[in-house]
């Protein structure tokens, strides 16, 4: 088993953290993992992406050239990374910020209004957890309860009040693909 995932969006959408939480939970489940951020001269509102590799074996390259899964949280990310996705791969689109659809018929496109759902839950910033929920609901790569442990690990002590809404967002994401 090996899965290569690219997550991308605007700086400030919690792209890096979404990747870290996924990598961390896969590690807790005993897998080999790697996580690489883009680290250009970027800032809030600029583009950000990270690459996560999860495997049962030693990971040769942490750098991904054709991902199994793309999570695109905004339009520039969809345009940039969709051509790289493996044939038969999965693209998760945040429809709130993407008004077009990829022109490929050899991939599975999952549309989810991550930002809208997060807003409905009371905080737009948990859109990343909605998208992560979709990813794990669709692929089964890690268990939801492990992801919840990882969210708790990354939330600093003074932000533990955010635990509940993050958990809700994750579960809503899972429900989106399992309904």
Partner 1 sequence: MEKVLMKGNEALAEAAIRAGCKCFFGYPITPQSELPAYLAREMPKRGGVFLQAESEVAAINMVYGAAGAGVRVMTSSSSPGISLKQEGISYLCGAELPCVIVNIMRGGPGLGDIQPAQSDYFQATRGGGHGDYRTIVLAPSSVQELVDLVYDAFDLADMYRNPVLILGDGILGQMMEPVVFKERPARQLPPKDWATTGKMGRQKTNVINSLYLDPIKLEEHNLKLFKKYQEIEAKEARYEILNGDDAEYFVVAYGICARIAHAAVEMAREDGIKVGLIRPITLWPYPKKAFEEVLPKAKAFLTVELSLGQMVEDVKLSVEGRAPVYFYGRTGGMVPTAEEIFEEIKKMRGLS
- Counting contacts by CB under 8 A, is residue 23 touching partner 1? yes
**87 makes contact with partner 1 (CB under 8 A):** no
Rounded Cα distance between 98 and 76, Å, is: 9
11 binding partner 1? (CB under 8 A) = no
DSSP SS3 for 161: helix
- Segment holding 51, helix H or strand E: strand 47-55
- DSSP β-bridge partners for residue 55: 2, 32
The answer to whether residue 34 forms part of the interface with partner 1 (CB under 8 A) is yes
Give min distance, CB of 99 to partner 1, in A. 31
What 3-state class would DSSP assign to 38?
coil
Site for partner 1 contains 81 (CB under 8 A): no
- CB-based contacts of 146: which residues, under 8 Å, 6+ apart? 25, 28, 29
How big is the site for partner 1, counted in residues (CB under 8 A)?
19
Q: Of 33-41, 67-75, 101-109, 171-179, which part binds partner 1 (CB under 8 A)?
A: 33-41
- 53 within 8 A of 62, measured Cβ to Cβ: yes
CB of 23 to partner 1, least distance (A): 6
Please count the CA atoms within 13 angstroms of the CA of 48 that sit on its side-chain side.
19
Q: How far is the CB of 37 from partner 1 (least distance, A)?
A: 6
Q: How far is the CB of 113 from partner 1 (least distance, A)?
A: 30
What residue ranges bind partner 1 (CB under 8 A)? 20, 23-24, 27, 32-37, 39-41, 59-63, 65
């Amino acid at each position: 088993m090996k899965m290569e995932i690219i997550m991308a969006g605007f700086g400030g959408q919690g792209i890096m953290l979404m990747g870290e939480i996924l990598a961390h939970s896969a590690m807790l489940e005993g897998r080999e993992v790697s996580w690489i951020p883009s680290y250009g001269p970027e800032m809030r509102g600029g583009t950000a992406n990270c690459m996560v590799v999860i495997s049962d074996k030693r990971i040769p390259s942490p750098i991904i050239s054709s991902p199994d899964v793309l999570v695109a949280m905004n339009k520039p990310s969809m345009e940039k990374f969709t051509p790289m996705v493996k044939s038969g791969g999965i693209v998760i689109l945040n429809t709130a910020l993407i008004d077009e659809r990829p022109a490929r018929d050899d991939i599975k496109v999952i549309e989810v209004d991550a930002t809208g759902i997060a807003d409905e839950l009371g905080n737009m910033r948990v859109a990343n957890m909605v998208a992560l929920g979709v990813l794990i609901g669709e692929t089964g790569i890690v268990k939801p309860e492990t992801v919840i442990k990882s969210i708790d690990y990354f939330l600093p002590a003074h932000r533990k009040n955010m635990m509940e809404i993050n958990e809700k967002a994750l579960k809503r994401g899972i429900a989106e693909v399992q309904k």
